[in-house]
Amino acid sequence: MKARIKVTLKNGVLDPQGKAIEGALGALGFSGVESVRQGKFIEVELREQNREKAHAALDEMCRKLLANTVIENYAIELDEK
């Protein structure tokens, strides 16, 4: 089963990367960019076929390793099927 995990910074947490990208887009002449936030996108391929079990395992992976829950939120998406 394939899963996609989005890890994003919590609201209010400083995002120096996003800020730098915002500045760079401006310098490249893109106007009208109001804000940029950068996160992570992690694709995981699991042997597990049961959706619920897969979700539970992914959730634990996020909490234990993939996301830093002090400053980040995460969202798990499982492949259709």
Partner 1 sequence: MIRNDVTITPELVAEHGLKPDEYQRILDLIGREPTLTELGIFSAMWNEHCSYKSSKKWLRTLPTTGDRVICGPGENAGVVDIGDGQAIIFKMESHNHPSYIEPHQGAATGVGGILRDVFTMGARPIAALNALRFGEPSHPRTQHIVAGVVAGVGGYGNSFGVPTIGGEVNFDPSYNGNCLVNAFAAGLADTDKIFYSEAKGVGLPLVYLGSKTGRDGIHGATMASAEFDHDTEEKRPTVQIGDPFSEKLLLEACLELMASGAVIAIQDMGAAGLTCSAVEMGAKGGLGVELNLDMVPCRETGMSAYEMMLSESQERMLMVLDPKREKDAEAIFHKWGLDFAVIGKTTDDLRFRVMRHGELMADLPIKDLGDQAPEYDRPWIATPKRNAVAIGDVPAPNDLGETLATMLALPDMCSRRWVWEQYDHLIQGNTAIGPGGDAAVIRIGEGPKALAFTLDVTPRYCAADPVEGGKQAVAECWRNLSAVGAEPLAITDNLNFGNPEKPEIMGQFVGCIQGIGEACRALDFPVVSGNVSLYNETNGKGILPTPAIGAVGLLPDVSQRATVAFKAADETIVLIGETTGHLGQSIYLRDILGRRDEGTAPVVDLAAERLHGNFVRSEIRAGSLTAVHDISDGGIFVALAEMAMAGGMGATLSTPDDLPLHAWGFGEDQGRYLVTLPEKALAHFLGRAEMANVPAICIGQTGGKQLTLGAGTPISLERLTQAHEGWLPNYMAQAVEV
Partner 2 sequence: MKSAVIVFPGSNRERDMLYALELITGVKPVAVWHTETTLPDVDLVVLPGGFSYGDYLRTGAIAGRANIMTDVARKAKAGTRIMGVCNGFQILCEAGLLPGVLMRNAQLKFVCKEVGLEVANAKTDFTSKYSEGQVWHCPVAHGDGNYFASPEDLARLEGEGQVVLRYAKGENPNGSLNDIAGIINDRGNVFGMMPHPENMIEPLNGATDGRVLFESVLEAVA
Residues lying near partner 2 in the complex (CB under 8 A) are found at 13-14, 16-17, 19-21, 23-24, 27-28, 38, 40, 64-66, 68, 70-71
- For residue 45, state whether it binds partner 1 (rule: CB under 8 A): no
- For residue 11, state whether it binds its own copies (rule: CB under 8 A): no
Do the beta carbons of residue 58 and residue 5 sit within 8 Å? yes
Specify the DSSP element, H or E, that contains 57.
helix 51-61
- For residue 16, state whether it binds its own copies (rule: CB under 8 A): no
Do the beta carbons of residue 79 and residue 1 sit within 8 Å? yes
- For residue 75, state whether it binds partner 1 (rule: CB under 8 A): no
